[in-house]
Each structure stands twice: as structure tokens, then as C-alpha cells.
Amino acid sequence: ALLQVHPTSVTNAVDRLEKAALVARSPHPTDGRTTLIELTAEGRTLAKRATAALNAEVFGKSGFTDDDVDHLIRVLGTFRRDAGDFTDE
């Protein structure tokens, strides 16, 4: 629900990631209906590279000032906390 993606789409995406050896599935230790997904070492490396590229190429060139970015992060953080997406600060 938080991803706003149909469960079948998530399953298909995980299937592709698993086939590419970027994630591994394992059974949930206490809930037999649930499968856990974990990044593999290769997946973690790729995620770090992708994050760095995204930050440099997209978010690093937003046109916002540092103060604007800080303000936006605060506003969106409050919005997401109020929506129940997370509770830590």
C-alpha cells in the first residue's frame, strides 16, 4: 500500500531482481504467509552506485537553494509522519 503498486507488480519486479541476483528471498521466521526480500552483496553495491548517481545527476541539480531543500525536507517529513509512513525523526 505504501508503494502504491499492485502486489502482482511487486512480485514481478522481485522476480526480475532475483533472476539478476540482486535480491534473495527467504521465508519469514514466524509468518508462513510472508516472504522476506534481502539485497544481495551485488544488489547493495548497485543500490549504492544508483543512489550516488541519482543524487549527483538529479537531486544535485534541482535549482533549489540549500535553505529551500532543508525546508522541503522538513515539510515532506512532517507530511509523511502525519500520514503514518514513519514515526522516527
| Residue ranges making up the domain that contains 11 | 7-82
48 inside domain: yes
55 inside domain: yes
- Count Cα neighbours of 21 within 13 Å in the Cβ-side half-sphere: 3
Q: Which class for 23: exposed (0-12), middle (13-18), buried (19 or more C-beta within 10 A)?
A: buried
87 inside domain: no
Q: Which class for 40: exposed (0-12), middle (13-18), buried (19 or more C-beta within 10 A)?
A: middle
Residue 89: predicted pLDDT: 54
56 inside domain: yes
CA torsion through residues 5, 7, 9, 15, sign: positive
Which CATH number characterizes residue 55's domain? 1.10.10.10
pLDDT in tens, 49-85: 999 999 888 888 888 888 998 999 999 999 988 888 8
Domain count, the chain: 1
Q: Which class for 82: exposed (0-12), middle (13-18), buried (19 or more C-beta within 10 A)?
A: exposed
Residue 67: predicted pLDDT: 94
Q: Full-prediction pTM beyond 0.85? A: no
